[in-house]
Amino acid sequence: MPKLKTWQLTAGSAVAGLALAAGAVAVAGPWDSGQRKAERDLSAAQDRTGGAHHATPGPDPAEPAPAPSARGVLSALGAPAAPAARPNHLKEVLTPLMEKAALGAFRTASVVDAATGKQLYGRGQRDAMTPASTVKIATTVAALSALGPDHRIATTVLAAPDNKRITLKGGGDPTLAKAGLRALAADTARALRDKGAGKVSLTYDTTLYSGPEVHPIGAGNENIARVTPLMVEEGRTDGTRSGIGDRSPDPAADAARAFAGELRALGVQVTGVPSAGKAPEGAQPVARTLSAPLSALVERTLTNSDNDLAEALARQTALAAGKEASFAGAGKAVRERLAGLDLPADGLLSGAHFADGSGLDRNDRVSAGLLTALLARSADPDHPELRSVLTGLPVAGFSGTLQSRYAGSAPGTGLVRAKTGTLTGINTLAGTVVTEDGRLLAFAFLASGTPAPDPAQKALDAMASALAGAH
């Protein structure tokens, strides 16, 4: 029996698991100039969560359980590899679909066997194009490779040696919830009482990040908050949990004011208004809260197309590499980390540029070949640390940004798992699909100059569905 190089998946196991995806995470993502209107309406009409739970705060926090996330729709099968899809057959199937006018002036494609990395279909697969949100595949692969799936992001409170000043230090966790901040305040109040502290002043430290806080798309954009290492619930002010939403003009200051309020409610005398500043020399940690494991954060990033979290993960990658946690530093760190993955073909990073971690920046450039290589590497049993890249992909017809794009009778429903990408004139789709004979394929389709979003999305979905029928 040949050694399995990846999960061998069957259509039967996929169908049996479809119901598991029905309660998955809400639709979200970088809507641009009114695009993804159907998904936006669905997001507004439904209240689903895909967030992260935080650790019990304190110097020695208990290990929290990972956040609930969409369970895998496709089950592993310990069986010999199914026959590979025939390249000539894929060419016959995909070429006419690639010619659809809905895909605009420029379109590229790559399909590889996830078990072997063998190229089964390619069209301009090495041409770097604007990927929109499919760049999150690169961002999350880089973060997992740099930090590992068990990494957690800490938010810490430090006390000065005289216990008269405390500092709330942001570690880069945009998923910090109000409940987590409240628990952090409780641990801080307890520590201050144990130290016999009286009145305290509060500062907040955002110096972990450098460079511009405002994404190049501009301030006040509902797709993303200011990029700062300290915020509560992604700086959202309108009760939304994902997708577009009103954002605070100063998430870090808001978080500090909320923290001060929690401390006062617990009887701590906090003087004045919190101000920005670093902890004084000799300050020691007295409490902390941790994010969910990185594997859960990656799933949330991909299922929800979470822009704030994607930017945070890119900066965590930069910090792990000893680079400045800025748009520029994160882009360099992501590229370097991907270069170290020993991808199967030389030159896949040629022309690649990571202007941000979320895909909102039109200056991002990746190729379809790079995306399929990263997906195949994520399926490689020699890289189990990358597995959440696959498990986090939205499921066609059931979760995330693919929930409303596949009808129940569509051939790809439940079999296609893919990251969507949408900007004005840009439509992309990259992920995995199970063929009729149980082969797992990785694919990426990038289109630029598309005249309208809905027809382009339908054309991309039709190509992914066609792969599900490959044999």
Which is the catalytic residue, given 43, 69, 110, 133? 133
The C-alpha atoms of residue 242 and residue 65 are separated, in whole angstroms, by: 21
Residues near 111 by Cβ (< 8 Å), separated by ≥ 6? 85, 90, 94, 119, 120, 121, 122, 372, 441, 442, 443, 467
Q: Assess whether 136 carries a catalytic annotation.
A: yes
Contact by Cβ (8 Å): 70, 403: no
HSE-CB at 274 with a 13 A cutoff on CA atoms is 27
Q: Assess whether 409 carries a catalytic annotation.
A: no
Residues near 110 by Cβ (< 8 Å), separated by ≥ 6? 119, 121, 122, 123, 125, 367, 368, 369, 371, 372, 443, 444
CA-to-CA dists, residue 66 to 55, 78, 226, 296, angstroms: 10, 27, 26, 6
The C-alpha atoms of residue 185 and residue 190 are separated, in whole angstroms, by: 9
Residues near 144 by Cβ (< 8 Å), separated by ≥ 6? 294, 295, 298, 385, 386, 388, 389
Residues near 255 by Cβ (< 8 Å), separated by ≥ 6? 168, 170, 176, 181, 204, 230, 231, 232
CA-to-CA dists, residue 99 to 69, 102, 251, 424, angstroms: 37, 9, 46, 20
Contact by Cβ (8 Å): 356, 311: yes
Neighbours of 219 (CB within 10 A): 10
- Tell how many helices (H) and how many strands (E) occur in the chain: 12, 10
- Per DSSP, the three-state class of 106 is strand
Which is the catalytic residue, given 43, 69, 136, 378? 136
Contact by Cβ (8 Å): 285, 111: no
Residues near 387 by Cβ (< 8 Å), separated by ≥ 6? 149, 295, 378
Neighbours of 34 (CB within 10 A): 9
The C-alpha atoms of residue 81 and residue 98 are separated, in whole angstroms, by: 29
Q: Assess whether 164 carries a catalytic annotation.
A: no
Which is the catalytic residue, given 69, 242, 305, 448? 305
CA-to-CA dists, residue 216 to 45, 117, 221, 235, 358, angstroms: 30, 35, 10, 18, 12
DSSP symbol at 84: P
How far is it between the farthest Cα atoms of the chain?
77
Query: Which residues are annotated as catalytic?
Result: 133, 136, 305
